[in-house]
């Protein structure tokens, strides 16, 4: 079931102190596994397509896949654009049927981020689409002592008020990709401050892969409503494809799909995701 109000789903997660996984698909197979697993588990899913993966599958193809699969199953599925880097790309995603988009203008200064995000929000809300934005150095794997890299609560509250975004990705010490120095140390004090400053805004954690089950379980219980997972799915898939007992291409496809499914089921438990 294609969900048209992403914020409502995330606000239920916020109130229930659990998180909904945002799973990045790169082809029909991965998208189908994510949706089938959500259906089997009777749990909500954020089916995400990242702009950076447009070399694997086009935005138009991703929209067709997402809309078809979300209409096929009863599980609540949000079709989300992850890390849209330009307003025009977000607009295209809306036109194609994405029900939620992320505009990532976090590399700009505060005023520039507000300006770009507000422009996307105005067009999205006119279409009934929700918008995720980002503030702080998400994905920098910030050192605990360098608070300048974290999202500051007061700035986050001001940003939401000025931009009108529906959900906000924040920086508390996670990083995209594979961690090279072990499990990161997250700043939960900063998370608590942001959650207190934004009681009506769902918070998002990017870079969930490799962050550690204990960290992610705490995030879900203590203020994060949406957790993005990507790398863990495809590391598990690659390991399955490389297994010595893999007989041929078709067996490899089955094994990689099974590996992706296992990771998703695991994170549903870690996040404490509940039926809507």
Q: Which positions are annotated as active-site residues?
A: 82
* Cα–Cα distance measured from residue 47 to residue 235, given in angstroms and rounded to the nearest whole number: 18
204 closest CA partner among 256, 142, 131: 131
First to last CA, the chain: 12
Query: How far is Cα of residue 71 from the mean position of the Cα atoms in its chain?
Result: 20
Task: Give the rounded distance of the alpha carbon of 20 from its chain centre.
Answer: 9
What does the chain come to in residues? Answer: 276
Residues 6 or more apart whose Cβ sits within 8 Å of residue 53: 24, 26
C-alpha to C-alpha distance for 83 and 198, rounded to whole angstroms: 22
Q: What is the CA radius of gyration of the chain?
A: 18
Contact between residue 56 and residue 27 where contact means Cβ atoms under 8 Å apart: yes
- Decide if 275 contacts 42 (C-beta within 8 A): yes
Separation of alpha carbons 268 and 28, rounded Å: 21
User: What are 143's two structure tokens?
Assistant: 């050192």
Place of tokens 């599980």: 75
Please give the Cα distance from 155 to 227 (Å, whole number): 21
């Amino acid at each position: 079931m294609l969900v048209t109000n992403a914020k409502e789903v995330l606000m239920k997660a916020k109130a229930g102190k659990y998180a909904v996984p945002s799973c990045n698909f790169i082809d029909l197979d991965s998208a189908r596994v994510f949706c089938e697993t959500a259906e089997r588990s009777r749990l909500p899913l954020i089916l995400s397509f990242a702009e950076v993966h447009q070399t694997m599958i086009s935005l138009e193809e991703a929209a067709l896949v997402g809309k078809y699969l979300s209409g096929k199953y009863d599980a609540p599925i949000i079709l989300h654009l992850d890390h849209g880097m330009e307003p025009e790309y977000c607009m295209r995603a809306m036109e194609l049927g994405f029900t939620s988009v992320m505009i990532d203008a976090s590399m700009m200064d505060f005023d520039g981020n507000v300006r770009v995000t507000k422009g996307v929000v105005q067009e999205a809300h006119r279409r009934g689409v929700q918008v995720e934005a980002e503030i702080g150095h998400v994905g920098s794997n910030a050192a605990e002592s360098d608070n300048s890299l974290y999202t500051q609560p007061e700035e986050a509250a001001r940003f939401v008020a000025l931009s009108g975004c529906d959900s906000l990705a924040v920086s508390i010490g996670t990083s995209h990709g594979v961690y090279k120095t072990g499990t990161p140390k997250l700043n939960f004090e900063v998370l608590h401050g942001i959650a207190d400053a934004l009681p009506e805004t769902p918070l998002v954690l990017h870079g969930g892969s490799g962050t550690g089950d204990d960290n992610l379980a705490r995030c879900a219980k203590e203020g994060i409503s949406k957790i993005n997972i990507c790398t863990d799915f495809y590391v598990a898939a690659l390991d399955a494809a490389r297994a010595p007992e893999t007989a041929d291409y078709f067996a490899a496809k089955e094994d990689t799909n099974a590996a992706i499914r296992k990771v998703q089921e695991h994170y549903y438990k870690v996040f404490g995701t509940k039926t809507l």
